[in-house]
Amino acid sequence: MEFKRNYYKPENVRALCDFFEQMNIDCDCNQSRIVWEWLRNAPCFEMFQLEKIGLWYENSNIVASLQLLSPWPGSIVVDNRSNRENLLSDIIHYAEETFCGLKDDRKYLVFYVNEREDSLQKILLKKGYKKLPDMDGTLQYPLNKDIPQVELPKGFEIQTLSEVYDFDRLSKLIWEGFNYEGKIPKIDDEVYLPIKHAWLNYNRDSCSVVIAPDGSYASFCGFWYDNKTQTGLLEPMVTSKEYRKSGLGKACVYNSLKILQSYGCKKVFVTPDEEPYNYYCKIGFDRMNYTQCYEKIFE
């Protein structure tokens, strides 16, 4: 059976979404579908070199995809349903030709691969890639259990973002909470795309906001939901510095988890940075050993 390599175009987004949905059916730890929903609503979407997203077809059906992990070259994510060696070798060849990063004046590339992808992992090792130690990675919160209730401090209240949406208050919380430099941006200001969190086209009905006694946003968590795979994604979560360690962030997360649970959501993912990783574990998220990383530094 011959395969064909093609590239992402807006008109084949439905086929790509269907492929990601099938990947989730194959393994319910696969988060590609919900991450794609978040990504295409993000201001930095255009930075992911969309026209270079690789798609591999067999019999007119997508069997593999390859795209950047972030807006910056060097790390890529592979979703694959084929074990044909020539197709897998073509994926690696295309990635090396297209998405290498530069570190200490040397080219490098990191593959993020499904742990069940034995064939691809073996080929990567043959081609000089080295398996990296397990990293913190993605966490999951199964919603087949009761979600705790958090009592808010006196004078605070929790609402969905759809009930209290105000761009300026959201922008202030996110800008100051993430320690970004400069003036708090207004909605029409030019801002570096990867940090335009306040501009995201959130699923507002499932996002939660804690309102402080003075009316400001004290804490916020953004959530995304895909009813096809019944999965959710948490991105971002932030609490004002003056209100940290008072349970507000946890209250936000639990409130949104209950909303998603009422929708029929089965599982929520989050991929935290190193610093907040243990925080998410403490509030009930579990580690999942789903992704293996392979790196090659080119001479």
100 and 161 belong to one structural domain: no
- The answer to whether the CB of 213 falls within 8 A of the CB of 166 is no
Q: Is residue 279 part of a domain?
A: no
In a domain, 15, yes or no: yes
Which residue, chain included where needed, has tokens 């059976």? 1
Q: What tokens does 15 get?
A: 């086929």
Q: How many domains does the chain have?
A: 2
Per-residue model confidence (pLDDT) at position 161: 97
| CATH number of domain containing 223 | 3.40.630.30
Torsion of CA 180, 183, 185, 189, to 10 degrees: -120
Q: What is the pLDDT of residue 9?
A: 93
Residues 53 and 92 in one domain: yes
129 with 146, same domain: the answer is: no
Domain assignment present for residue 277? The answer is no
User: Do residue 124 and residue 208 come from a single domain?
Assistant: no
Please report the pLDDT score of residue 1 as a whole number. Answer: 63
Q: What are the two backbone dihedrals, phi and then psi, of residue 156, each rounded to the nearest 5 degrees?
A: -100, 150
User: What are the tens digits of pLDDT across the range 222-240?
Assistant: 999 999 899 999 999 999 9
pLDDT at 291: 81
Report the distance separating Cα 299 and Cα 232, nearest Å.
Answer: 41
> DSSP string spanning 11-52?
GGHHHHHHHHHHHHHH-TT--HHHHHHHHTTSGGGGGG-GGG
CA distance 270 to 37: 14
**Domain identity same for 235 and 163:** yes
In a domain, 280, yes or no: no
Does the residue 285 lie in any domain?
A: no
Same domain, 126 and 171: no
Instruction: Compute the distance between CA of residue 27 and CA of residue 23 in angstroms, rounded to an integer.
Output: 6
Q: Residue 13: CB partners within 8 Å, gap ≥ 6?
A: 40
> What pLDDT does 125 receive?
97
Residues 79 and 40 placed together within one structural domain of the fold: yes
User: Residues in the chain, how many?
Assistant: 299
What pLDDT score was predicted for residue 272?
87
Domain shared by 244 and 207, yes or no: yes
Same domain for 8 and 59, yes or no, is yes
Whether 34 maps to a domain, the answer reads yes
pLDDT of residue 27: 78
- Give the list of residues 6+ apart from residue 210 with CB closer than 8 angstroms, or none: 152, 156, 157, 158, 217, 218, 219, 220, 239, 243, 248, 251, 252
CB 236 within 8 A of CB 271: no
Q: What is the pLDDT of residue 135?
A: 66
**Inside any domain, residue 108:** yes
Question: How far is Cα 286 from Cα 281, in angstroms, rounded to an integer?
Answer: 6
Q: Is 281 within the bounds of a domain? A: no
Q: Given the structure tokens 């209950």, which residue do they identify?
A: 258
Q: What is the pLDDT of residue 220?
A: 98
Angle between helices 85-98 and 118-126 (to 10 degrees): 60
Say yes or no: 57 and 129 in one domain: yes
Is residue 42 within 8 Å of 235, Cβ to Cβ?
A: no
Residue ranges making up the domain that contains 18: 4-136+290-297
Residue 289 confidence (pLDDT): 67
- pLDDT tens, position by position, 127-174: 999 998 876 678 999 999 999 999 999 999 999 999 999 999 999 999
Whether 60 and 158 map to the same domain: the answer is no
DSSP H or E stretch at residue 255: helix 248-263
Shared domain check, 183 and 130: no
Q: Which residues of the chain have pLDDT under 70?
A: 1, 135-136, 289
